[in-house]
Structure 1
């Protein structure tokens, strides 16, 4: 028998989509002869119903949740001859940002884009790799300032507000799709 693990209106992380959403509807599946549902799915407004194992609860602050250990790897550039990439910071390779769960996938750029400005791409890779730690640091600063608002200098209060707005950009739930699209006559 299945029991609902989430409730309507609850904020969840949809793992396979990689986005925050709200439970719009709990959908139990009943079968004759059973007193409880045999399966429970959840409608989060993303086009299909999800099972409980596809959804995760946020911690008190999603920015503080463990995002894993992101790290920078170097992948061999097998499509470009070494003499064509001698001007790269590390000739013959390019950066790949991966999580601690796998050494494949992750963030990477096309070779032509890397070749155009390798120093910029190397910088972007390092920023992406440290982003979870920066988010945790910002959330800790916000918590400290909110625990001691009277003792914090005005500059620190302003920094905490900016940090909260920046974290919100990364952790906010996707807006639900509109019920209907406006007609061109209505848009004018």
Structure 2
């Protein structure tokens, strides 16, 4: 049975249209003999009804728009082609090295030369972990600056200075 996720007058992002709208009506589809509706659709005043998967709540839509800008970055392990696992037992993950993938496919992104990885594998592993988390850190910085701009009177002097520093770092990044 279906349950309504959205309510009347709620602001949602309509994915197929790519715009914001307010839900005008919640339209349950009933069948005889059932206590609950079998399907729920939503009228957003755009000429057709939308299902739940085509709509997105305001907070999650803003969050996904921020994350879609850079994509989902992830860490993969690639086999070391030049040394076996026995030859590099001092590495954190013997026989492999980190590869940061910044696209939808499992290629493209950041890699480190094998010789450099062999010099200081622990440092390279930490760099890879930091690079993978860069989009999340960027979102966090943007949310912090937005919050600071919306409520500057609620910030202490230290937090105001921190917001200014964060804004300066964000301003250095290309659009």
TM-score (norm 2): 0.59
Aligned to 1:155: 158
Question: Is residue 106 of structure 2 the alignment partner of residue 142 of structure 1?
Answer: no
Aligned to 1:111: 114
* Cα shift readout 1:17-66 (whole Å, capped 9, x = no counterpart): xxxxxxxxxxxxxxxxxxxxxxxxxxxxxxxxxxxxxxxxxx9xx97762
- 1:63/1:131 Cα in 2 relative to 1: closer, same or farther (>3 Å)? same
CA distance in 2, matches of 1:117, 1:107: 17
CA distance in 2, matches of 1:164, 1:91: 40
**Superposition deviation, residue 169 in structure 1:** 2.2
The secondary structure found in structure 1 opposite 2:139 is helix
- Which segments of structure 1 move beyond 3 Å, counting only runs of 4 or more? 62-65
The secondary structure found in structure 1 opposite 2:93 is coil
Q: Which entry has the higher C-alpha Rg, 1 or 2?
A: 2
- Between 75-84 and 93-102, the greater mean CA deviation after superposition: 75-84
Aligned to 2:6: none
**Superposition deviation, residue 167 in structure 1:** 1.6
Question: Is residue 139 of structure 2 the alignment partner of residue 125 of structure 1?
Answer: no
Root-mean-square deviation (CA), in Å? 2.1
* Cα shift readout 1:117-146 (whole Å, capped 9, x = no counterpart): 000000000100000110000000000000
- 1:64/1:170 Cα in 2 relative to 1: closer, same or farther (>3 Å)? farther
Aligned to 2:81: 78
Gaps of 5+ in 1: 1-58, 173-188
CA distance in 2, matches of 1:126, 1:78: 22
Aligned to 1:169: 172
- 1:64/1:81 Cα in 2 relative to 1: closer, same or farther (>3 Å)? closer
* Cα shift readout 1:94-129 (whole Å, capped 9, x = no counterpart): 000002411012101000100000000000001000
Aligned to 1:88: 91
More RCO (CA 8 Å, sep 6+) = 1
Gaps of 5+ in 2: 1-61
5 Å-filtered alignment, 1:46-57, equals none
Contact 1:64 1:135 in 2 (8 A): no
- Give the number of aligned pairs: 112
CA distance in 1, matches of 2:147, 2:135: 18
